[in-house]
Structure 1
Amino acid sequence: MEVSFVWSLFFITFLRVFRVHALLPIPIVSLEDKVKINEETKVTCMLPASDCQCLEVELRIITEQKLKNCISHKGNLPNVTCTLEVTEDMHEVEISCEAHFRTKSRPQKLNIQTEPEFTDCPDKLVWIEGQENSFHCKAKGYPPPTVSCVKDSTVYMEGEKFTTFKNMSGDYNCRAVNFDVVSKTITVSVQYEPVISPIIVHPSDSVMEGDNVTLVCEADAVPPATYSWHTPSLQVQYDHDNRTIHIKDVKKAHEGFYICIAQNQHGIQMRKQKITVTEPEIVPEIDISKLSSETGNGAEKMGAAYGGLLALLLYSSFHYLF
């Protein structure tokens, strides 16, 4: 019964003291902005009218006797318990408890103003046409710098997502900006599948037997494309890179479709070109002796006809006069 009363009295006393100290204001630490290295700065501790959220309490048992194994508990009802070896001469020994209250400010970070510096910004980037990409170019500094990359007046913010096109290849000027500016150049290479231009045929896609013809295939691709052909005849000659084929002494068997195939690691494209082969015209031989004989007989017949016509004209004129 007495123990229960003592604990009740202890808690009532504690709550009263806590209520009084709960009105204690909490100091606040105030720091300057834009703190720079190697310069002085002021730290101010202010005591507002009332703010007691950071109040701490420490309980101590006060006695002239030796205490052992003291265990403290924190929380909503803090307490401390110690062990005391009781002896006969401890009669009427005084024991008291002290509560020590401490307050502390909310922590504030000391921010030192520093110029921007790139920390993760590669010199070269490889993108694939049609895919989603962004610039991952990190920089440190305080205030935290803003990073952007520019090409042809187009600005891309760091981390901004966009679809890649082949015309995005080139050099970009990337800048990190706070109260100062640093910049660097990033080279971007955009890779894409082959696109074949119309096949060039020289001299023409319609040739006569016995002539020569050349076909040239050209594809726009990054990385560069490799070439192969499907041809109607195997009797063709290839250049070292397979872009060009030559056909000498064209035969009828060379007629048909020539298919160029261009491919790289990103895709493949085909384009075809038709070649038409015509036979040369055959001119019949002419017998010159027979041609001369026929020419002479014709002249004689034409002379006789002219003679008859002249006689008719003379007769008509004579008859008119008389």
Structure 2
Amino acid sequence: MTDCTAVVALEMSVFPFMVFLFFSSELVLVSSVYNAELPSRIAALSGSCVQIPCTFEVPENELKTATSIFGAWIKHNHAFLSSDSLVVYNGSTNISRGFSRIEITGNLSRRECTTVFYDVMNNHSDNYYFRVEIKPRDWKYTYQNPIYISVSDSPEPLIFQPTDLKAVMEETTVSLSCSAEAPCPKHPPTISWSNIPESAHITTQLQEKPNKTLSVFSNMTFKASYMDHRKNISCTATYPRKTSNDSTVETTVTLRVLFPPKETGITIDQSASVSVGTNVTLTCKSKANPSNNMTFYWHKRGHESQLGLGEQLIFTVNRSSGGWYFCIANNEHGIQRSEEIQLIMADHSLIIGCVAGVSAILLTFLLITLFLRVQRVKASTIMETDVSDQGQEKQVQTIYTNGGFVSGEELEMPKDENDVQYGEIDFSTPQTKITTAQVSGEETVYAEVRGPGKEMNHD
């Protein structure tokens, strides 16, 4: 055994837990194996950032005597000087390789090594190892438990609770939660709900998970209503990133609510007024869940006995069929009675009387119209006679045959006894004969009136 070998043997016998690590010209004495506390895997979204929660172990005396502490990250291989490893960040030189920027946000003097990788891309998917360097003792160590960063173009699926949404009873309080991974807390996703119940109350917050990663947690509580039955409720997470479009991920659940009959009512296949001998179908409609085992009962006001069983009531109308009808819907959760509907019997004698009355009114109207038309025809048989003479100031414009009045300009009575005009009217024929004579220098107009079988002369 050489002297050198003896020295090494002596050192190992005296310090059985000492291990010598050689890094080129570096000689690092490590008393035990240390670990870094960080997730084994984290999912990142391309075009965004990713935050790695991290703490590390280090001898207490190293921190007490430290004047400066630096952190570093190595990609692919933990060996600091290996040919297939890449130091993507070195805190002592503050240089990043392969990334736009890497920032250690943790306080290294408190054993915190939380780090943010900015603008991650798909080719950044790999194992990453943390390394610490403490001066002035030049204590250096690379932690051999890595974190695998998985970069994807699509966000991680949402986590929805409860995973198995069962049917809930009406009026019970329901709580639904939806959480989305937040690999980049500086730009966390936003969560929105769609088609939410009217009574919903929503709270959203950023939460830390047991592995120290973060997620956006949104909780919705509401009181179940029968109107929410079969409603598709969606939770959507939108991730901002440095691309043309934001990324979204969505999950949808169908709400099932158990409830007794609601909105029970009756429909009729024809008008509510029916006549004897016609067939009538009454249908009872109601909303309920479950609905496959519903029963329907038919009743009539004033009748104690049940009329029928089933969704429809079909019967032929007789004279006693008129009245108020209602139905009762029933399922395992309760019953509901419909509003009443009135069935009116049509009176044929009343209908005939109404038709006769209407016909008489129409006939009277036609007779009046015809009479008015005859009067218009009579009024059109008018003879106009213009009487004109030299020096005559007044003219008789119109004389109606066999009429009792004169239209047009009214005839004036003579102003003195000498101004007398006589007229002769023949009632046998619609003719008027007017003669004029000169009496004592004054103009006199004679009228001759003749009736059938009788002749009258006036001097």
TM-score by length of 2: 0.33
Query: Which of structures 1 and 2 has the larger relative contact order (alpha carbons within 8 angstroms, sep 6+)?
Result: 1
Structure whose alpha-carbon radius of gyration is higher: 2
The structure richer in helix per residue is 1
TM-score by length of 1: 0.44
